[in-house]
Structure formats: structure tokens, C-alpha cells
């Protein structure tokens, strides 16, 4: 990575990368101990790093256009919190984290719901583990990266994003049980099925994401308590229909039906019936729109536009209130579907969306 040489005047010891992700299906199920099915994007965050002998970290980011230095004697805020949080989480877990100089660049769009934050944490974590020769098995890494984001940066998120960035495999989606943290790599070779995944960044401004996320999470926990289960993962539809509070009932119905849609999607993919997951994607979107109430006009318009352009299924991906939509389309129909979405946006006077085709890529790795 040439930027490291420019910033530090030397070659790095190594270069590491970790991808952004999209979630194929399973939204707001992770913190309910349920199931998710993300895959890694080809877009990724790259970290070039060298070890230094002092317990001090210097980090430059091309996207932040800034170089910062910290030693953990004071709390780091801003984008540096995601990096300092990883050092902190590793130390909390008892590891001797090596001091380092890092240069970071990324082609994951920031703040678009494609998890540039997890890509950053996962790339830095992978680099520091390798640089220090730390004994940290891959299956334990997502929890540490999540702690960096939750406890150090102060952003509440589930375990999905970091698991996807660290554990995904090319050509596969990652079936993750968020209770046991067991994973299974599910073949998701869309090209072999004559299909493509079109992702549309709606460019919708995120509105009240953090407070709405906290509210959904709290309602799910209340519903689980009312049903006397450990988490909504343990509830059934008939239990949910007995909930007295109508808002709890709708929120819980989303979680319970969404978990089932993940299981159904996994089963279809195991059988190679890729096209047939389309209706499950569209049903997931309807559930997020009507029961969980986390969509906004831009994402609803993108889904409707994609479906009217011939997509087999389409849904919002990510936490909601903006972000991206993904659509399953014929491989030769990506331009047509993208154009249909763009014209639906133009009709509504929305900012033009940004479509791209995503092929499931690998998880975090040394380059």
C-alpha cells in the first residue's frame, strides 16, 4: 500500500484487509439470539501496519484525512475510537498488544449501512493479532471487535457485522446462530444460477438511527420478558399473538417470522434453489416496513422499483432508517432494474441512488 510509505517514509511490515457486508436476510434478529445470513462485499478496508517498540499507536486514515496518536491513557473519540477500541478490547482480554503505526484506506462507503465500522475494526484487529503473534482463534475475534464498537466507541450493535467481516468466505453466505455463535458457510454462487445481487445505496439520510435502534431493542426485550422466554428466538408465533401490547406484538412477530425466513432461505440455498429465495426477501421487507417499522420512503421506493423492474425479490438490508436495498435479479437484468429504481426515485424527487453489483467475497485476511 503506497500510502504507508508516503505517511511514514518506510515500507509496512504487512497489509491486511477486511470487507464490508450486506445481510441477505435476518434483520434485527441478532440481538434477539436469532439467525442472520450476511455475505462479505468485494469492498474492503485495507490496513498497512508496522510494529513499534513503545505501547503507542499512530493511525492515518485516507477517508478521515487525519493522523492520530494514542496510548490509551485518554479516551479516543471520533473515528479513532473504532481503532483505539480494538486495542482496548484486546488488552481487556489479556493480550499484549504491540504498538503500531497504521495507514488505512477503504472503498466501503461510510455510513451507508454496509458496515464500514466493522470493516475498520476487523481489519485493525486482524493486523494487530498477526503483528503481535497473539493467540486469538478466529471464532473469538468477532466478540472482541464488537466490544470495541459497543463498549469503547459506545455504539450499540449486535454481533452480525463483525462476524461477517471476519468469518465470511468467497462465494458463500454466513449462516450465523447469534446465540451459540456457530457458523455454517452456505453456498451462494449467484452467477452459477444465472443471477446477480444488485445493491442500491438509497443515499437516504439516516434519521434517528441510534434512538430508534435502542427503542426496537428495548421493545424486543420487554416482549421476551412478557412471554417469559430468554430471548425472542425462543418464542413462537402463537405465543406472540397472545401479547397484550399491540406494538410489542408487531415487533415480536417480525423477529419470529424473520428467524423462520432465514432458516427457509438457508434450506433453499442448500438445495441450490437460489431464485426461490426472492419471495422470502420481499416478505422480509414487508415485515420490516409494517411490523418493525424501520423503513423510510426511499428504501420502500427502491424495493418497489426493483420488483417492478423484474427482480425476484428485494429488501432493505441493515438496521434501517435509510441505507441500502438488495435485489435478486437475472444476471443480464442488472442495468434494467437499476434504471427502474432510478426512475422511481426521479419521480419522487429523491436524490439519485447508487447501484452496484455485489459478488460474495472473502472475510478478513492478510494480503
Return d(Cα 258, Cα 250) in angstroms, integer: 12
CB of 4 vs ligand ADP, minimal distance in Å: 14
What is the distance between the terminal CA atoms of the chain, rounded to a whole angstrom?
10
Candidate ranges 112-120, 285-293, 333-341, 344-352; the one touching ligand ADP (CB under 6 A) = 112-120
Instruction: Point out the catalytic residue in the list 30, 33, 161, 300.
Output: 161
DSSP state of 135: -
Residue from 29, 32, 115, 287 that binds ligand ADP (CB under 6 A)? 115
CB atoms closer than 10 angstroms to residue 364: 32
Return d(Cα 27, Cα 145) in angstroms, integer: 20
Determine phi and psi for 321, rounding to 5 degrees. 60, 35
Residue from 13, 14, 51, 64 that binds ligand ADP (CB under 6 A)? 64
Is there binding between residue 61 and ligand ADP (CB under 6 A)? yes
Binding to ligand ADP by CB under 6 A, coded x per residue (else -) over 24-53, reads: ---------------------x--------
Measured from the CB atom, is 44 or 250 closer to ligand ADP? 44
Is there binding between residue 117 and Mg ion (CB under 5 A)? yes
Candidate ranges 46-54, 66-74, 111-119, 216-224; the one touching Mg ion (CB under 5 A) = 111-119
Q: At what angle do helices 297-308 and 278-290 cross, to 10 degrees?
A: 150
- Told to judge if 177 belongs to the known catalytic residues of this protein, a careful annotator would answer no
Instruction: Give the residue among 173, 205, 206 at the shortest CA–CA distance from 189.
Output: 173
Measured from the CB atom, is 312 or 321 closer to ligand ADP? 321
Measured from the CB atom, is 117 or 122 closer to Mg ion? 117
C-beta of residue 176 within 8 angstroms of C-beta of residue 40: no
Binding at 277: pick from Mg ion, ligand ADP, none (beta carbon under 5-8 Å per type) = none
Collect all residues with Cβ–Cβ distance below 8 Å to 260 and sequence separation of at least 6.
none
DSSP state of 137: -
Binding-residue total with ligand ADP (CB under 6 A): 17
Collect all residues with Cβ–Cβ distance below 8 Å to 312 and sequence separation of at least 6.
195, 275, 277, 278, 279, 281, 328, 329
CB of 348 vs Mg ion, minimal distance in Å: 27
Measured from the CB atom, is 66 or 71 closer to ligand ADP? 66
CB atoms closer than 10 angstroms to residue 367: 11
Query: For 140-207, where are the alpha helices, taking DSSP H only?
Result: 141-147, 160-167
What is the grid cell recorded at 238? 402463537
Binding at 45: pick from ligand ADP, Mg ion, none (beta carbon under 5-8 Å per type) = ligand ADP
CB of 332 vs Mg ion, minimal distance in Å: 33
Binding at 64: pick from ligand ADP, Mg ion, none (beta carbon under 5-8 Å per type) = ligand ADP
Candidate ranges 58-66, 196-204, 211-219, 263-271; the one touching ligand ADP (CB under 6 A) = 58-66
> Mind giving me the DSSP string for 341-364?
HHHHHHHHTPPPPEEEEE--B--S
CB of 60 vs ligand ADP, minimal distance in Å: 9
**Contacts with ligand ADP, residue ranges (CB under 6 A):** 45, 61, 63-64, 79, 82, 104, 106, 110-117, 120
- Known catalytic residues? 161
Amino acid at each position: 500500500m503506497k500510502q504507508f510509505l508516503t505517511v511514514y517514509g518506510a515500507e509496512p511490515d504487512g497489509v491486511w484487509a477486511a470487507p464490508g457486508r450486506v445481510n441477505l436476510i435476518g434483520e434485527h434478529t441478532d440481538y434477539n439470539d436469532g439467525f442472520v445470513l450476511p455475505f462479505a462485499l468485494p469492498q474492503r478496508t485495507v490496513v498497512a501496519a508496522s510494529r513499534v517498540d513503545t505501547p503507542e499507536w499512530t493511525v492515518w486514515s485516507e477517508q478521515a484525512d487525519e493522523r492520530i496518536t494514542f496510548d490509551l491513557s485518554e479516551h479516543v473519540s471520533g473515528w479513532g475510537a473504532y481503532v483505539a477500541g480494538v486495542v482496548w478490547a484486546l488488552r481487556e482480554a489479556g493480550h499484549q498488544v504491540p504498538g503500531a503505526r497504521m495507514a488505512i484506506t477503504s472503498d466501503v462507503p461510510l455510513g451507508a449501512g454496509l458496515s464500514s465500522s466493522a470493516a475498520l475494526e476487523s481489519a485493525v484487529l486482524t493486523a494487530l493479532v498477526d503483528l503481535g503473534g497473539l493467540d486469538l482463534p478466529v471464532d473469538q475475534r468477532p466478540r472482541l471487535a464488537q466490544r470495541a464498537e459497543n463498549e469503547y466507541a459506545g455504539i450499540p450493535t449486535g454481533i452480525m457485522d463483525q462476524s461477517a467481516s471476519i468469518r465470511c468466505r468467497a462465494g458463500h453466505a454466513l449462516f450465523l446462530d447469534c446465540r451459540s455463535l456457530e457458523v455454517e458457510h452456505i453456498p451462494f454462487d449467484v452467477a452459477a444460477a444465472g443471477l446477480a445481487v444488485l445493491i442500491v445505496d438509497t443515499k437516504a439520510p439516516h434519521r434517528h438511527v441510534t434512538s430508534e435502534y435502542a427503542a426496537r431493542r428495548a421493545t424486543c426485550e420487554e416482549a421476551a420478558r412478557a412471554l417469559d422466554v430468554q430471548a425472542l428466538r425462543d418464542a413462537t408465533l402463537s405465543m406472540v399473538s397472545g401479547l397484550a401490547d399491540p406494538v410489542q406484538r408487531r415487533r415480536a412477530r417480525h423477529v419470529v417470522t424473520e428467524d423462520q425466513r432465514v432458516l427457509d432461505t438457508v434450506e433453499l440455498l442448500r438445495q441450490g434453489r437460489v431464485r426461490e429465495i426472492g419471495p422470502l426477501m420481499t416478505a422480509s421487507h414487508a415485515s420490516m416496513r409494517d411490523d418493525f417499522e424501520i423503513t423510510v420512503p426511499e428504501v420502500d421506493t427502491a424495493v418497489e422499483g426493483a420488483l417492478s423492474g423484474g427482480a425476484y425479490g428485494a429488501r432493505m438490508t441493515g438496521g434501517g432508517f435509510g441505507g441500502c436495498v438488495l435485489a435478486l435479479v437475472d444476471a443480464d437484468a442488472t442495468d434494467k432494474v437499476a434504471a427502474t429504481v432510478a426512475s422511481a426515485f426521479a419521480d419522487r424527487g429523491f436524490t439519485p441512488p447508487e447501484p452496484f453489483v455485489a459478488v460474495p467475497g472473502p472475510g478478513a485476511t492478510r494480503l
